[in-house]
A and B are shown apart, each in its own frame.
Chain A
Amino acid sequence: DTEVTQTPKHLVMGMTNKKSLKCEQHMGHRAMYWYKQKAKKPPELMFVYSYEKLSINESVPSRFSPECPNSSLLNLHLHALQPEDSALYLCASSQETGGEQYFGPGTRLTVT
């Protein structure tokens, strides 16, 4: 199984809502990533987990809170987002950090 799955595919939320994005992989990869991508722009790295520990946090606002419950799962908890946070959120995994990454299809988030 070389697939990274993400749920939900689409999410619309108000600025006062709390929601979570989920990502799952069953390839035994030990590194997992969250990226944010705005239209016609490259992905921007948000967080990196290596062996279930947060190894990189790219100065992301605290309204985004990552969680890695186990080696197969990665969550991104969202709270009090702003309209400018609307974007495609991509999850990826790799065998180790720095390796070939497998991306999920993304969650398209709209903040109203």
Chain B
Amino acid sequence: SQQGEEDPQALSIQEGENATMNCSYKTSINNLQWYRQNSGRGLVHLILIRSNEREKHSGRLRVTLDTSKKSSSLLITASRAADTASYFCATDTKDNDMRFGAGTRLTVKP
């Protein structure tokens, strides 16, 4: 079963614009991770943020975590057509159970 919800379900932007995706979850977590999946392929790990961290950066990615609101956001800056993919958040719960959110389908138009 899913741990959380993501919004929006789908996002379409122009190349060069920023993309923001949100994730909410229900139970206490050890960490929250973001993954990217190109159509029908395996997932690629993007970034991991621990429950005691509030913000993390990796290249064009910025992730925030608000444990009081049980929510996280992923910001992709200066998007490229190659960023077109589905993005999932995943929570590592206190039971070491990995739960994925419903995902956001991002389309970046050239």
Contact = CB atoms under 8 A, between A and B. Distances in A.
Interface in A3-49: 4, 33, 41-45, 48
Which of A33, A45, A48 has most chain B Cβ within 10 Å? A45
Classify the secondary structure of B's interface with A: strand
B93 to A, nearest CB: 9
Interface residues on B, range: 20 to 34
Interface string B68-105: 00000000000000000000100010011111111100
Nearest to B91: A98
A55 B96 contact: yes
A106 B41 contact: yes
Contact of A103 (B2, B30, B44, B99): B44
Across the A-B interface, give the 3 residue pairs with the lowest CB-CB distance, nearest first. A103-B42, A42-B100, A98-B92
Interface of A: 4, 33, 41-45, 48, 50, 55-56, 58, 88, 90, 92, 97-106, 108
Interface of B: 1-2, 30-31, 33, 35, 40-45, 48, 88, 92, 95-103
